[in-house]
Amino acid sequence: MKLKGKIAVVTGAGQGIGRGIAESFADEGADVVINDLKADGRTDEVAKSIRNKGRRALVVAGNVAKRDDVEHLFDTAWSELGPVDILVNNAGIETIVPFTELTDQQWEDVTNTNLKSEWMCAQTFCKRLIAEGRKGSIINIGSIQAARVLPGRTHYAPSKLAVEALTRNISAEVGSHGIRVNCIHPGLIDTPMIRWVLESPEILPHVVAQISLGRPGQPSEIGSVAAFLASDEAAYVTGQALYVDGGWVGK
């Protein structure tokens, strides 16, 4: 087991990729703090699945784009489960709006959720690790759209490309404390966020034709890579961005 005895916080883990990562981590022996906007049936189900794997699970609701909620998330994680070893900044939103119609509010909503949240969670986590002299690992979730243009994403794509720069810059500042920071850029992954693509007979074949493996990925296929990056098997890997996209960028 790659993550035996570790404690991980996964943001936006009520469904989709976050859930896949939380479950992969539990399979590898980690206890998991499940964050999402609300504690509801979805988060309960993820917690149940983690407990069924013999690991501890804790649901902490909160909006990771808000400073107070971020502080509450880490306070609760530390006090209920113990010192956290791994943070996965996964929470994100995507909207599709033509560039000339994009509003300030839409820009801010996407940028705050996808980028500012990752900065705030990473900063809060690193301050605690450094104060306690503990090592740790952070995985930031970006997107294939850091490298590929899809229409109507002039707010989403920059927020995701910036995650890569955030990753490199944080990794440079915290490496001497034994904290590693890496980024995963997922391709087309079967989650509620992109169900409309998967269910569209017009759009799906067009997208899949661009993917070398010729299919969408599963959340568990992001989870297994995240588990590797979080583990000691990746002890000399930091500041990197990895496309886990079935060969989309590479095609």
- Catalytic residues, which ones? 156
d(C-alpha 109, C-alpha 175), whole Å: 31
Q: Which is nearest to 124 in space by CA: 71, 198, 48? A: 71
Tokens, residue 174: 């915290």
| Contact region with ligand NAD (CB under 6 A), list: 30-38, 78-86, 147-155, 204-212 | 30-38
Is residue 113 a contact residue for ligand NAD (CB under 6 A)?
A: yes
- Cβ 7 to ligand NAD shortest distance, Å: 19
Is residue 189 a contact residue for ligand NAD (CB under 6 A)?
A: yes
Is residue 140 a contact residue for ligand NAD (CB under 6 A)?
A: no
Q: With respect to ligand NAD, which residue has the nearer C-beta, 175 or 214?
A: 214
Is residue 91 a contact residue for ligand NAD (CB under 6 A)?
A: yes
Amino acid at residue number 125: F
If binding means CB under 6 A, how many residues of this protein chain bind ligand NAD?
31
Cβ pair 77, 7 in contact under 8 A = yes
d(C-alpha 158, C-alpha 219), whole Å: 23
Is residue 9 a contact residue for ligand NAD (CB under 6 A)?
A: no
Residues contacting 65, CB < 8 A, separation 6+: 112, 113, 116, 117, 120
Is residue 226 a contact residue for ligand NAD (CB under 6 A)?
A: no
Q: With respect to ligand NAD, which residue has the nearer C-beta, 134 or 154?
A: 154
- Cβ 243 to ligand NAD shortest distance, Å: 10
Tokens, residue 206: 């067009």
Q: How many CA atoms lie within 13 A of 198 on its CB side?
A: 13
Of residues 115-134, those binding ligand NAD (CB under 6 A): 117
Q: Which is nearest to 175 in space by CA: 85, 251, 238, 109? A: 238
By CB under 6 A, name the binding residues for ligand NAD: 11-12, 14-18, 35-37, 63-65, 90-94, 113-114, 117, 141, 143-144, 186, 188-189, 191-194
